[in-house]
Each structure stands twice: as C-alpha cells, then as structure tokens.
Amino acid sequence: MTDHTTAPPSDLERVSTGSAGLDAILRGGLPRGGLYLIEGRPGTGKTILAGQVCFAHLAAGGRALYVTLLTESHSRMLAQLRTLAFYDAAAVGESLYFLSATRPLEAEGPRGVLDLVRQVIRERGATLLVIDGVAAVREAATGLEFKRFLQDVQALLESTGATGLLLAAPVGGAVAPEQTMADGIITLHDRQFGAYDELQLEVVKCRATAYLRGRHSVEITAAGLVVHPRTEVRYAARPAPPPAAEAQLGFGAPGLDALLGGGPRAGSVTVALGSPGTGKTNLGLQFLAAGVRAGERGLHFGAYEAPPRLLAEAGRLGLDLGDAANRGLLELVWRPALGVSLDALAEELLAAVARHRPARTVVDGLDAFGHAALEQERLPRFLAALFQQLRGHGVTTLALREQQEFFGPAAPIPLNGAAELADNVVFLRTAELHGRLRRFVAVLKLGEGNPDPAIRELRFTGAGIDVAGGFGNAEAILTGMARLPASGDAATTDAGTVPRGGSHAADDPGRG
C-alpha cells in the first residue's frame, strides 16, 4: 500500500533532518536552500535537533558550519552531542566546523557576524549553516539591522546553495523578524498533562512544501530527537480500501464461528469487549491458533502478558502456539505501554504488521492505547486511522478491550469509540447462574450481516474455546445476573441442556 507521507509533492531537493518522523512530517525533509527557524524554550532539544540535521547532512556527503552566539561553549555542546548515536568524531573539525561568532558580534554588531560567516562558509564549502542563539544578534541590533542581517543570510544561502537553520527561544507576544522571514518554523513545545509532560514538535510554517499539521510527540533518546507523526494526521488521506474479501477467518470453534456468521471477513477489524476475567486474552490465542493450524502467519501485539506467559496460557487451553512461534510463523510482540506515546505504539504495531505480514493480528489490548493517550479526545480519530491502516494491510484484526462493568442491573451496550469503528463487535461478560460464575458471549455487530441475537455460554475446554448452547429461558444475562423462569426448568437451547453448576467449569483455566 502507499504511504502518503513520503512522496514529496514538490520537486525541490530535500535535506534530511536525520529524523525519519520529522522527514515524514515534512514530506521528505527540508526543501534545500531555505532558511528555517527551530524555536523552543531552553532544553527542548533545539541544539540536539540541529546537530542531528548536521550529522545526517554529512552522512549524505554535505558539509556543515555550526555558528554559536552566546550559547553554551563548544566543549559542552560536544560533550552532549558525543553521547548521541549519530555523533561522528571523525567528521568534527573537518566536514562539520564549529565557529563562535560572539567576539565579532560584540566588536562590530550583526555586520561582524555576517562577514565572518560569509568568509567561513565559502572557505569550508559548507552546504548547511546553523546559527545557534540568533536572539543574541536580534538583541544587539538597532533599527532595521536585524532584518537586514536575516536578508543577507538568505542572500548568502542563495549564492552558495546552502540550507540554513536559526535556533532561538520563542519571543513572547510580538512576532519576531526571524519568524516572519524564515521559510519555515519548527517549534518544540514542552506540554504538561497533569503529572506527565510530553515534548511536542509542530511545523508552524514551511514554504515550498506541504507538511503534516498539528503537534507531534517527540522523545529525546540516545538516537537524538525521535519524532512520532500524529497517526490520524499522517493517515488522513485514506488509502483505497482493499477489495472486499470473501474469505472468512474463523476461530476454529464451530459454535463461535456460527455466531459470527462463519467468522470475521478477511481484512476486517473485530473488537472484543469484556470485563476482566471474561476470556479476552484466551479468545485472542484461540484466534491465532486457528490461523496457525491453517499455515497462516500471525502476530500478537500485547501490552500485558509477556510471550512466555502467553504461550503457557495457550498450552493450558490445549493450543500449541510454541512451535509456530519457534518457526517464525507466529510473532509475539510485547510492548508494555508505559511512558510511550500513542503514536509510537501505532508505529510499532503497523511496523510489525508491515514486517511480519500476518494474516491475523491480535491486539491485547486497546486499553493500552487509551492509557498512552494524553489527549483522550484524540482516541476516536486515532483509532479510525489505525483500523483503516490495518484494513489496508489486509490483515484480519482482533482487538481486545477491557470493559469496566462487572455486574449490574442496567445492561449498557458499550458502544464506545473503538466499537463504533470496528466491523464486528463481540461482547464477553461473566454472569452468575445457579451460584456459579459463567462466561457469556454475544455478537453486537457483524459487518454487513445481522448478528445472531443469541447469548451463548463460552466454554474453555482442553482443546480451546467454544460456545455451548444459549440460555433461551434465562433473562437478562447481559446484566450479569441471569434468572431462570419460576418453573425452574433448566436453561435449554438449541444446543441442548446447559448443566447446572456443571463440571466443565472446574477444569476451566481461563482468565481475561
């Protein structure tokens, strides 16, 4: 499928930023020859980003000149850059040249800085110019001097073909000349969300290219700035939906598949909602096991149980997934969603799908995305984009989601964001009947078809999961408190009589 984020719509040559995410936001990188402002409060990563652009530029065969003005000393700056993976000691002093312009600024003002930069950029044959601390020039300038300085820098870039970066803290209130004159502005924001904070990057403007709008989450790691484009913006231009697939990918459980009209359609998204302990994880393992038996590739993307525990659980259900995992047919990706951005999670899931090309994917669970979302209002659009990407990959997805109600007389049909966006919705719940907790399953939504309105008991056997009969006479099972009619007849169904306090529950290994 096409990734709408990488094809540069303009034919201007691009300068990579050294960050795949930022390059995707800029549709290929910074248009060559422009003057760009990297703006952010102290410590938001401006110098690291500029360093990253420099080293990526050197790696692509370019040469860079890094000018500092009343900023940290070169040795301190290098001490920080040296800790980062992109740092290349051999290039420093040679194809990356550091220059302090503080003296000429103090002695001759903006003119002095410009003369020095003009001389060294030519001497060094630099194709990338960074001016770190450009606010010092603004503060030292009088009248129109600073605007003229910026104009002269732009003229210098034009005559040398170099690309320029200005680094500055944002000025409060008024619009600064560097903001007006720059061809593009990249702003770094440090945002607080209660006890959490997140570094975010926003392209505020960029001439000569389209770019992804909005704020994108950023991590500073040993690899430098890692930028995660906002999923719902990145995939806003939806890929053409894959041809309607006739194939159905079942659970390998006749009763359950019958309830699902034969099983989920290839390329569809099924959301299984259920409270803790209703068997969601097991349902996921069953779904993957059915695929593995048919020789299909499977992916389990889980935020909770680590792979060894999942394989052990599958074993208790009588499903052998270990062999498929060893053979590489089944991939288990364990990604605890702690301290990770929503978009980083989506990237990992989609990258695993693109790499492993599974026929089936289980996401356990969607709650992890909810926990990672610092801005909850994003979730519906985020999930819409994520589901659309999964469909575009042609993978059949089962996404599990915790539903918090345990028991209660009200029977809320929990169609929240995820369920509305899914093709199929399966609802799992536990209910008490004859003094025992039983698990029930109902299909709330079924693609184009009409779901079977029956509520069935979910049973865990030594050979996976299947549904037993429904509870034709039991009322209000969805409320969590099943009742039988006063006659006291056993709950009978088309599948036969459901044993009261039956022994099947004793060997039930299940959990949620």
What is the secondary structure of 260-295 as a DSSP string? Answer: TTTSPBTT-EEEEEE-TTSSHHHHHHHHHHHHHHTT
| Closest to Mg ion by CB, 168 or 425 | 168
Question: Least separation, in Å, of the C-beta of 168 and Mg ion?
Answer: 10
Long-range contacts from 114-123, C-beta under 8 angstroms, 24+ separation: 114/149, 114/152, 114/153, 114/156, 117/65, 117/67, 117/153, 117/156, 118/156, 120/65, 121/65, 121/156, 121/160, 121/162, 122/160
Question: Least separation, in Å, of the C-beta of 47 and ligand ATP?
Answer: 3
Which one-letter amino acid corresponds to residue 181?
M
The helix (H) or strand (E) run that includes residue 224 is strand 224-228
Select from Mg ion, ligand ATP, none the partner in contact with residue 220, using the beta carbon and a kind-dependent cut-off of 5 to 8 Å.
Answer: ligand ATP
| Closest to ligand ATP by CB, 28 or 45 | 45
Select from ligand ATP, Mg ion, none the partner in contact with residue 7, using the beta carbon and a kind-dependent cut-off of 5 to 8 Å.
Answer: none
Question: Least separation, in Å, of the C-beta of 161 and ligand ATP?
Answer: 27
Question: Least separation, in Å, of the C-beta of 133 and ligand ATP?
Answer: 7
Stretch of residues binding ligand ATP (CB under 6 A), selected from 43-51, 271-279, 449-457, 480-488:
43-51
Contact 170/41 with Cβ under 8 angstroms?
Answer: yes
Burial of 467 (0-12, 13-18, 19+ CB in 10 A): buried
Stretch of residues binding ligand ATP (CB under 6 A), selected from 76-84, 104-112, 357-365, 444-452:
76-84
Nearest to 425 by CA among 386, 406, 404, 397: 397
| Closest to ligand ATP by CB, 222 or 486 | 222
| Closest to ligand ATP by CB, 48 or 303 | 48
Stretch of residues binding ligand ATP (CB under 6 A), selected from 78-86, 230-238, 272-280, 315-323:
78-86
SS3 82: coil
Stretch of residues binding Mg ion (CB under 5 A), selected from 41-49, 288-296, 476-484, 489-497:
41-49
Contact 405/367 with Cβ under 8 angstroms?
Answer: no
What residues numbered 159-198 form the site for ligand ATP, per CB under 6 A? 169
Stretch of residues binding Mg ion (CB under 5 A), selected from 44-52, 60-68, 296-304, 341-349:
44-52
Nearest to 233 by CA among 210, 209, 264, 256: 210
Contact 330/300 with Cβ under 8 angstroms?
Answer: yes
Which one-letter amino acid corresponds to residue 63?
R
Contact 75/82 with Cβ under 8 angstroms?
Answer: no
| Closest to ligand ATP by CB, 47 or 275 | 47
Kindly tell me which residue out of 25, 35, 37, 48 binds ligand ATP, with binding defined by CB under 6 A. 48
| Closest to Mg ion by CB, 47 or 493 | 47
Kindly tell me which residue out of 220, 374, 415, 490 binds ligand ATP, with binding defined by CB under 6 A. 220
Kindly tell me which residue out of 5, 19, 44, 47 binds Mg ion, with binding defined by CB under 5 A. 47
Which one-letter amino acid corresponds to residue 200?
Q
| Closest to ligand ATP by CB, 6 or 221 | 221
Instruction: Kindly give, in sequence order, each residue whose CB lies less than 8 Å from that of residue 41, ignoring residues fewer than 6 positions away.
Output: 169, 170, 188, 190
Kindly tell me which residue out of 83, 119, 180, 376 binds ligand ATP, with binding defined by CB under 6 A. 83
- What is the DSSP-derived secondary structure letter of residue 481? B
Question: Least separation, in Å, of the C-beta of 171 and ligand ATP?
Answer: 13
| Closest to ligand ATP by CB, 42 or 172 | 42
**Residue 28 φ/ψ, nearest 5 degrees:** 120, -10
Q: How far is CA 418 from CA 231, 273, 338, 470, in A?
A: 15, 9, 21, 26
Residue 12 binds ligand ATP, judged by CB under 6 A = no
Tell me whether the omega of the peptide bond preceding residue 365 falls within 30 degrees of 0, making it cis.
yes
Residue 221 binds ligand ATP, judged by CB under 6 A = yes
x/- mask, ligand ATP, residues 405-434, rule CB under 6 A, reads ------------------------------
Kindly tell me which residue out of 47, 127, 341, 493 binds ligand ATP, with binding defined by CB under 6 A. 47
Select from ligand ATP, Mg ion, none the partner in contact with residue 361, using the beta carbon and a kind-dependent cut-off of 5 to 8 Å.
Answer: none
Stretch of residues binding ligand ATP (CB under 6 A), selected from 29-37, 219-227, 303-311, 470-478:
219-227
| Closest to ligand ATP by CB, 17 or 396 | 17
Contact 92/78 with Cβ under 8 angstroms?
Answer: yes
Residue nearest to Mg ion (CB): 47
Long-range contacts from 309-314, C-beta under 8 angstroms, 24+ separation: 310/281, 310/285, 313/281, 313/282, 313/285, 313/509, 313/511, 314/285, 314/289
Question: Least separation, in Å, of the C-beta of 375 and ligand ATP?
Answer: 22
Nearest to 235 by CA among 453, 24, 467: 24
Residue 44 binds Mg ion, judged by CB under 5 A = no
Kindly tell me which residue out of 43, 254, 308, 499 binds ligand ATP, with binding defined by CB under 6 A. 43
SS3 79: helix
Select from ligand ATP, Mg ion, none the partner in contact with residue 422, using the beta carbon and a kind-dependent cut-off of 5 to 8 Å.
Answer: none
Strands 184-193 and 35-40: parallel
Question: Least separation, in Å, of the C-beta of 224 and Mg ion?
Answer: 13
Instruction: Kindly give, in sequence order, each residue whose CB lies less than 8 Å from that of residue 177, ignoring residues fewer than 6 positions away.
Output: 138, 146, 147, 150
- The residues of the shown chain that bind Mg ion, judged by CB under 5 A, are 47
Contacts to ligand ATP by CB under 6 A: 40, 42-48, 71, 80, 83-84, 169, 220-222
